[in-house]
Structure 1
Amino acid sequence: MTAKKTVKYYIPQKGVYLYAYTQNGKTEMIVLNSTDSEQVLSAEHYNVLTKDSKSGKEIASGKKIDFSQNLVLSARKSLSIEF
């Protein structure tokens, strides 16, 4: 049996790309800053993906990410957040 997988892409804002994929009830959200300067991604923009989830975990560091806060991304930085 094949697992159902969905992928959602959002229009880049100020050089920040956002997409997420869901499989087996888990979602991974990928945020990419393609610019040479720090960028802030509004919580309102990415909360469309997080829906009822209050927080997630950055996969690389294990750091908890609060979805009620804006995401601050360093230049040329990416985040993978699981929730």
Structure 2
Amino acid sequence: MNLSDQSIRESDPLADTEQKPQAGDRFRLSALGAARCPGLASKVGTVINRRPDSSIVTVRFDGNRNSTSLHREYIEPTEA
């Protein structure tokens, strides 16, 4: 692996080892998500879909009829 391959791998959000959100997972906004979307900062919801080979997840916040697409770094799992 040369240096350019390594930098691409490091910048690829899907190359990390953290658990990817799955459909049905409960979540809240992460600190980054709350900073970027302050109107949604206090809401929690459910992951509806995760696009394959993408960093985008489709979510539905509690009390909303429509779903919203967010970058997966904007959400984090809730405890219980």
What TM-score results when the alignment is normalised by the length of structure 1? Answer: 0.27
Larger helix proportion of the pair: 2
Larger strand proportion of the pair: 1
What TM-score results when the alignment is normalised by the length of structure 2? Answer: 0.28
